[in-house]
Chains A and B, each alone.
Chain A
Amino acid sequence: MQTASAIPSTAQPALRAEAVSKAFVSGQQRTQVLAGLSLSINAAELTLISGPSGCGKSTLLSVLSGLQKIDSGRVLALGSELGQLDLRALERFRLQHTGFVFQGFNLFPALSAFEQVELPLNHMGMTRDEARARARRSLEEVGLAHRMKLRPSELSGGEKQRVAIARALAKEPELLFADEPTSALDAANGQMIIDILHRIAHTHGTTVLCVSHDPRLVIHADRVLAMEDGRILSDRRNHAPIIDSKEISS
Chain B
Amino acid sequence: MVALARKTLIYEWRRFLPAMLAVGFAGLLQLLQIALVLGIFGSTSLYITGSSADVWVGYPGTQSVGQGRSIDADVASRILMDPAVERVEQYLWVDGDWRGPRETGGLSVFVSGIDPSANGLMFSRVLPLALRRRLAEPDAIIVDRSDLQQLGVGLGQYATINGHSVHVVGISQGLRALGGINVLCSLDTARRIDNDPTDNGPTYLVAKLRDPAQAGQVAARLRGDTAFGPYTTWSAADFASLSVRYWLFDTGAGAGVLFLAGIVFLVGAVITSQTLIAAVNGSVREYATLNALGVGVAALRRVVLEQAFWVGALGLLGAGLLGIVLLLLARSQNVPVVLNLPAALACILLVLGLAAVSGLAAMRSLRRADPATLLR
Contacts and interface: CB of A to CB of B under 8 A. Distances in A.
Nearest to A96: B294
B241 interface: no
A91 B12 contact: no
B294 A120 contact: yes
Of residues A100, A118, A167, which shows the largest number of chain B Cβ atoms within 10 Å of its Cβ?
Answer: A100
Contacts of A68: 372
Contacts, number: 91
A160 interface: no
B375 A108 contact: no
Interface in B1-24: 1-2, 4, 7-8, 10-12
Contacts of A100: 289, 292-293, 371, 374
Nearest to A87: B297
B375 A94 contact: no
B376 to A, nearest CB: 5
Interface residues of B, number: 27
Interface residues of A, number: 38
B4 A91 contact: no
Contact of B294 (A91, A102, A151): A91
B262 to A, nearest CB: 35
Interface string A88-104: 10011111101110101
Contacts of A167: 293
Given A110-B7, A110-B12, A94 B294 contact: yes
Given A111-B2, A115-B7, A179 B294 contact: no
A30 to B, nearest CB: 18
Interface in A105-157: 106-111, 115, 118-120, 122-124, 128, 151
Contacts of A115: 2, 7
A192 to B, nearest CB: 21
Contact of A91 (B10, B291, B374): B291
A58 interface: yes
A72 B36 CA distance: 68
A59 interface: yes
A31 B297 CA distance: 30
Interface in A46-97: 58-59, 61-62, 65, 67-68, 88, 91-96
Contact of B293 (A58, A108, A118, A120): A120
A93 B294 contact: yes
Interface in B324-376: 371-372, 374-376
A95 B295 contact: yes
Contact of B1 (A61, A122, A168): A122
Interface of B: 1-2, 4, 7-8, 10-12, 283, 285-286, 288-297, 299, 371-372, 374-376
Given A62-B375, A111-B7, A120-B295, 12 more contacts: A59-B375, A67-B371, A94-B292, A95-B294, A98-B292, A107-B286, A108-B4, A108-B286, A120-B293, A122-B2, A123-B299, A171-B293
